[in-house]
């Protein structure tokens, strides 16, 4: 696997959550920089060998907005 995709959402209580698509990896962070560091750490913890760690991590950012009438 060369790439790993994460779905990133703003958390209701503040900060961000990220979950990998197709892998059991989930993490969170108060800022985007903290989230990125936590994603790197979670990916390294998930894969046992450095040889199988994805070379690219893609973040798909989702922002939900509500418009009232």
Evaluate if residue 3 carries a pLDDT over 90. yes
Q: Please report, for the chain, the start and end positions of each structural domain, with discontinuous segments joined by +.
A: 3-62
Tokens 């962070």 — which residue? 29
- Whole-number pLDDT of residue 1: 66
Q: How far apart are CA 43 and CA 32, in angstroms?
A: 16
pTM flag (> 0.85): yes
How do strand 26-29 and strand 56-62 relate by DSSP bridges? unpaired
Q: Where are the alpha helices (DSSP H) in 4-67?
A: 32-46
Q: Report whether 57 contacts 4 (CB < 8 A).
A: yes
Both structure tokens of 51 = 């040889």
Q: Give the model confidence (pLDDT) of 18-69 as tens digits.
A: 999 999 999 999 999 999 999 999 999 999 877 789 999 999 999 888 899 9
- Whole-number pLDDT of residue 44: 94
């Amino acid at each position: 696997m060369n790439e790993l995709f994460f779905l990133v959402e703003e958390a209701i209580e503040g900060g961000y959550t990220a979950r990998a698509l197709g892998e059991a990896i989930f993490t969170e962070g108060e800022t985007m920089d903290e989230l990125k560091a936590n994603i790197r750490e979670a990916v390294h913890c998930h894969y046992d060998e450095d040889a199988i760690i994805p070379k690219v991590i893609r973040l798909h950012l989702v922002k939900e907005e509500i418009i009232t009438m």
